[in-house]
Every structure is written in C-alpha cells, then in structure tokens.
Amino acid sequence: MTPDASRFLSDLHYLRSFGTTGTGVVRRAFSEPDIASRDWLAGQIRQIGLTPHIDPAGNVFGLADGPSLLIGSHSDTQPEGGWLDGAYGVIAGLEIARAAAEAGGPAISMVSFQDEEGRFGALTGSDIWAGRTPLAEADGYMSTDGIRFGDARQGLAHLMQDHFVDPARFTGFLEMHIEQGPVLDQSGDRAGVVTSIVGLRQVQVTVTGQQNHAGTTPMHLRRDAFQGAVQVASLLRERFANVVTPDTVWTIGHFRLHPNASSVVPGQAVFTIQWRDGDADRLDRLERVIKDVLAEVGTETGMAVAATQLRNDLVPVPMDDRMQAALRAAAEKHSPGSWRSMPSGALHDASNLSHLMPVGMLFVPSIGGISHAFDEDTKQEDLVLGLRILAEAAATLAPGRG
Amino acid sequence: MTPDASRFLSDLHYLRSFGTTGTGVVRRAFSEPDIASRDWLAGQIRQIGLTPHIDPAGNVFGLADGPSLLIGSHSDTQPEGGWLDGAYGVIAGLEIARAAAEAGGPAISMVSFQDEEGRFGALTGSDIWAGRTPLAEADGYMSTDGIRFGDARQGLAHLMQDHFVDPARFTGFLEMHIEQGPVLDQSGDRAGVVTSIVGLRQVQVTVTGQQNHAGTTPMHLRRDAFQGAVQVASLLRERFANVVTPDTVWTIGHFRLHPNASSVVPGQAVFTIQWRDGDADRLDRLERVIKDVLAEVGTETGMAVAATQLRNDLVPVPMDDRMQAALRAAAEKHSPGSWRSMPSGALHDASNLSHLMPVGMLFVPSIGGISHAFDEDTKQEDLVLGLRILAEAAATLAPGRG
C-alpha cells in the first residue's frame, strides 16, 4: 500500500477549514466547527470503505474489519490553536487506512480522539475510552466558559453510537504528531521516533519569612522570603546538574511574592517547581534533591520552607520496543541519517492508550518549535515524509500485512 | 524646665482616642478624626500659652514668641496605623513647649505636620511648608479613595489661617519618633541618636527571555527569564558584599513573571531593586554594581536585561552636628551606656526641614520592630525616657535657655 501525498495534503487542508478564523484555527471540542468536522470525517471514513463509529465521548473511529492496527490522534484544538496539532495525525491515519483498504491490506483503522486539548478535562476522549475516567464522571467536567461536558456532547448525539469500540480489536496504536518543540528544527533532523512520553511531577514551595519595612530593617535581621527563594533556585541549578540528562527538563514557571511591594521585605514567596523525565527513577532522584535543598535553605535561613506535592500522577510512558524498531527502520529508509530517537516532553493520547495496547509515536519538526499558537507550521516536505515513514512502519506492524 | 511625664502620657493617650477603632488607630489626613484632633491640639496650644497657627496645608503650629526651637512630628496615621507613629513626637513637642513656657524659657515652639503618611502625597504638609511643592500643585494630589487634596483641606478651613508661618523664626527642628525598626529592640539600647536619614534609589529591572513550552523545550535551548532574574539576584548578593556597610539595606520586594504558569518557561521577569544608605557616594557605587551585574547576566544568557530608574530623588540627609552632639550628651546623661547612634532607614518630616534649618532626630525602641500596624508599641518607660532626653537636648539648643 502507498499513501497518496496530494490526497493527504488536500484532506489536511480541508480539515483546517473547520474553525479557521482570520488568523488561525479554533476548533474546541464539541464547538460547532468541531462537530461539523467530525461529521465530515465520518463521511470520509465511509467513502474509503471503513465503518465510522462515533462513540459517546465524541471519539470518531474508522474501523477496518477484524483485528487491526489503530492510527490517529485528535482533531480538537487549543483556544489559539495551530492547524497541525492533532489534525496532522488524524488525517495521516485516514490516508494510511484508505491506502491499506484500497490495497486489500494490511488491516488499519483510524481514530480522532475528542478534547485532547482540555476544553473540559485533558485528553478527555482517550481517557474515557481507555476506562480511566467513567463517562458519568466526565459528564460533570465544566469548561471555563461554563458548559458541562455532559451537555456539550449532546451536540453530536445525532451521530453517536450508544457504545464504545472494544479496544481488544486493535493490535496496537501509532500516533504521529508535530514535535511542538525546537529539538528537530534545531538539529535539522526531519523525524523523531519517540522513546517515551515523559513523566511529570510538580510541587509548590512556600518560603515563609518575616514581612518588614525595607528601610528600617537591617540586612542581618531580615528573613527575606524572596532571598530564600533565590537560594532555593540557585542550589537547584547546582545540584540538579549531577542528576539530569540532556532530556530532563525542569521549570520554575509560577512565582508570587507577598506583599509584593518595592518598600517591603517580602514575607512570603510561593512558587512551583515542575520536572519531567522519561525515567521514573530519575524523577525520584530529582525529588530527593528538591527536598534536600528545601531543608538546607530552611536550616540556613531560619525560614519555613515547605513543599506541597501538586502532581505525581503522570508517570513516564515508554513506547513499545517493537513499534519503536519499526519506526526507526522506516525513518532510516525514508530519511537516512536524518532522524533521531527522542522523548516526548508533552502529553499525548498515546499515554492513555498505552494501558490498552502497544503504542508508538512519530514526530515531525515544528518550525521554530512553535505550537499552541496560530503560526504553528511544518514544511510540506516534512509533512509528507512523516506520512511515508508512518505508512512504512504501519505496514510492518499491522495484522494481515499487504 | 522639666517636662511632666504623666501629663505627657495622658495627652498621648488622649490623642490616641481620635480615630481609635476596635483594633487600632486610623487617622488619615483630613479625615474627621484628624480634623477633630487638630482642633483639640489647637486648644491645648492655647491653654499652655502658645499661639496656635493652622496653615493652609493643615500643619498645626504652637508658636512661642520670637526666635524659637521647633519640636514636633506628624499626627496623621497609616490606614492601619499604630498609636505612636508621629503622635509620639507631636505630644513630646507639646509637653516640652508647655514646660518651657511655664518655666519662662527657653523659647520652644511645636508642630504637627499634615499627611506625612501619604494619603495624598508623601510628607505633604512639611513638603508644602518647606516650599518644595507649591500648594496649588499639591491641591491636585488625589487620594486612592478619589478625593483631591484641595477639596479635603477645606474640611479644616474654619480653623486655618490664610498664610504660612515664616520658617526663619525657628533656629532648628528636633523630631522624636519611634524607630519603626528592630535595631534598638534587638540591641537593648533605649534610645537612638539619628546620624542621617538615608537616601533611597530604586530601579525596575526587566529580563526578557523566550516564552516556551515547559515540556518540549530542552534546557540548553531555553532563555528562561526567571532563571535570568535569579542570576541577577545571586550576583547582587555576592558583589554588594564588597560595598555595603552594616547600615546599608537593599531589597527586591516586587517581582512579577509572565505568563506566570507552571507549565510555561517564563518569557519575562520584572522586578524592583531598592537600596538605601546615608552616603550618596555609596548609593552611586551600589548603582554601578547593579549596572555591571545586569550587563553581565545579559551577555552570559543572551537575554535582554534592562533597568529603568524609578527613584533617585531621595538623597541622604545628614543630621546637624551640633544637634547630634546635644542629643548624644542628653542620651548619655539619662541612659548611660544604653543608647546608640544610628541612621534612619525611613523618611521623616525632618528631611524636608533640613532645607530650612538645622535638624536633629531621636529614636525610641519599637517593640519587635513593628510599625505601620495596629500592634505597634513602645514600653512606657522608654516613651518617658525619650521625652527626658529630648527636653534635655532642647534646653541646650533653644534660644533663651531657661
């Protein structure tokens, strides 16, 4: 089977038209453009000879008969979304399933999950389908504009089936996605075979010092919460250096001072530390470094330095070995010497599906590393190369290979 | 002349009653309690045989005949004020002027300045009286609750004279004040002779990095504005150490990140650096250190690190040598071995008056260093000791000593 690049690009641009504004694409889950796009997708699925199935969560499946390999991603977007985030992997699934069906095999199904971008939950559609959140619970999710998931999904009720597709019919899941980061763009590699979706932990640190007059309080009598926070941040830079790999990332992205006035010695600093890595062990070791640093700064400064764990539920998800091997071989064939293995620093539906079946992921470059923004883009030749690599790997992995 | 401690304490408590709430004293400039307290003060002045003069800015003078030494402070408070901040120095002036008048000399006048605590401007009353701000300009000052100074002062119009007291009739100004800091409380000294009111400078620093996804952006490709700010703060700690004295203070009290989200690499950090010292030269040297550090971090990180000067108008104000000497001698007489010389880290009306005449200041301890708060307090024996020291010094300094 051979995917048709121009058909693929044409479909990708057609999907873009649902929700396109003057500046970009806005297709929030269960919005009018999203519902229209899912209706269109079901029509395309029917045309290529697969069976459309829209489940109660709004996930759109295009089903091949019998056991099959599932390929797809999501087609909802961020509030200021780009045209490729999700859509790229969905249309690649559609075109590869079409080519396979036309060629009489292998058996390939496709999917577009719902609400990956978190209008209601986060990865809501695949979360429900993977049985990680009951539909009844998700129905209570409220969007920031005050709409319940349970009400919103009624907008697609006329197209929905009343049951979920049985995950057991799929032998594995392949998701292709734009990288949404700068690694491929900077290295010049044209594809990335994902090794794992990194795990994430997050704590909130509170440094409690003593609020005081910034003119009348001598330095040696101060317990300045900002200076305590600076000591924490400086020590983390030093100590993390012994534990991290080039793939580890950590961020202090949220920071708040009280009372936050230029003439007052800060009495309290509250900030988040978030760290991500593909290795659960390394996440542990980084957490121990943080705890040691907080204790050390507390002892040294006489301030209370306490941490609250905000997240430890996102464990690293390694990609399936066999799927990685197939993707590597296909990448080397279509882009020799110009691809790399890499972790995914962002979450994807594949995380949820890893609980059901072997999963693999392929990245293509994001120009300038830009995503979740209207100017998100990828070179057309890279979009097509990704399609070729994915189709090649799918042919190896799918049952009843053609 | 000998001031009467119980009369002094009684008057001080009586002034406290104007604006006392359940928890503390709120007597904002030109509020009803402030106007009532100034009316009461004018009555007290008349009773002790001095001439009351309320000028167009709301400053209340009690005038002795002929050339005299002026003693006083302010009687307005912060929105959450304590009972001693300002009031202590005003009632001390009243009692010493009374004792001097009763004894037939020396010639001592007293004053309560208006709006020291900045409901409208800052040190507004003494600022206008010292000719630093024209009354017409101050009339345009707006309070945070939307009232113009020009309108507010009409509330006292029935008691006001239409002209200002001529500063030339005063041979000097003594201001006694609670320290509003922890130095005396911590050292156990019972009085502080002020050497200078420190100067203040302030810059606002903006570190501009690159806003990015905290999962997909590798550390080596980040330009993280928070980390840039941490580098600035750490280097300042190091480099300032070579320039500061124990009396120098510096503060990063206001800090803001953009977009301030735990999963986003910060694109911008904006923060203030404020530094105070009694020596203008040292203020300059600290400013050069800051400029060097900002340039260094900019070069090292590739981020834009820029500073805007917010304040350089508050120059250090040295206290008059002769007045310091008189206060030191009086302190040693009434509290031998248990007083110290020290700078004032806070601004006072004496700063404005230094442009008109020799000025001197005396501090008494603030329990726990607390001020601008309802639980501001000073031991009664320290309040009385301050009165004795100030009267002793005034007797030495005032014309026609009795």
pLDDT tens digit sequence for B324-376:
999 999 999 999 999 999 999 999 999 999 999 999 999 999 999 988 888 89
Can you list the pairs that A385-388 forms with residues at least 24 positions away whose Cβ atoms lie under 8 Å? A385/A190, A385/A191, A385/A334, A385/A335, A386/A88, A386/A92, A386/A176, A386/A191, A386/A362, A387/A3, A387/A5, A387/A8, A387/A92, A387/A95, A387/A96, A387/A176, A388/A3, A388/A5, A388/A330, A388/A334
Nearest-CA distance A23 → chain B (Å): 20
Indicate the pLDDT class of residue A307, thresholds 50, 70 and 90. very high
Nearest-CA distance B262 → chain A (Å): 4
Of A182, A217, A234, the CB nearest to B369: A217
Of B237, B262, B346, the CB nearest to A272: B262
Q: What is the pLDDT of residue A402?
A: 45
Q: Would you tell me the crossing angle of helices A32-47 and A87-102 to the nearest 10 degrees?
A: 10
Instruction: Work out the average pLDDT over A92-115.
Output: 97
Q: What is the pLDDT of residue B402?
A: 45
pLDDT in tens, A29-69: 999 999 999 999 999 999 999 999 999 999 999 999 999 99
φ, ψ of residue A82 in degrees (nearest 5): -100, 180
Judged by CB atoms closer than 8 Å, whether chains meet at A263 and B253 is answered as: yes
ipTM of the complex: 0.90
SS3 A331: helix
Instruction: Work out the average pLDDT over A123-137.
Output: 96
Q: Residue written as tokens 């501001």?
A: B376
pLDDT in tens, B183-213: 999 999 999 999 999 999 999 999 999 999 9
Question: Residue B181: its chain A contacts at CB < 8 A?
Answer: 212-213, 215-218
pLDDT in tens, B110-160: 999 999 999 998 899 999 999 999 999 999 999 988 999 999 999 999 999
SS3 A151: helix
Judged by CB atoms closer than 8 Å, whether chains meet at A216 and B369 is answered as: yes
Residue of chain B whose Cα is closest to the Cα of A244: B219
pLDDT in tens, B21-77: 877 899 999 999 999 999 999 999 999 999 999 999 999 999 999 999 999 999 999
CB pairs < 8 Å spanning A and B: 187
* DSSP type of residue A8: H
Question: Residue A215: its chain B contacts at CB < 8 A?
Answer: 181, 198, 200, 249, 276, 344-347
Judged by CB atoms closer than 8 Å, whether chains meet at B215 and A183 is answered as: no
SS (H, E, C) B195-237: EEECEEEEEEEEEECCCEECCCCCHHHCCCHHHHHHHHHHHHH
Nearest-CA distance B219 → chain A (Å): 6
Judged by CB atoms closer than 8 Å, whether chains meet at B218 and A246 is answered as: yes
Indicate the pLDDT class of residue A401, thresholds 50, 70 and 90. low
Contact B226, B264 (CB under 8 A): no
Average pLDDT, chain A: 96
The reported pTM is: 0.89
Q: Residue written as tokens 């066999």?
A: A322
Judged by CB atoms closer than 8 Å, whether chains meet at A260 and B255 is answered as: yes
Q: Could you tell me which residues come within 8 angstroms of residue B328 by beta carbon, excluding any fewer than 6 positions away?
A: B193, B339, B341
Indicate the pLDDT class of residue A183, thresholds 50, 70 and 90. very high
Q: Which of A160-164, A166-170, A307-311 has the lowest mean pLDDT?
A: A307-311
Percent of chain A with pLDDT over 70: 100
Residue of chain B whose Cα is closest to the Cα of A369: B217
Of A182, A260, A372, the CB nearest to B221: A182
Judged by CB atoms closer than 8 Å, whether chains meet at B246 and A219 is answered as: yes
B401 pLDDT more than 60: no
SS3 A338: coil
Q: What is the pLDDT of residue B29?
A: 96
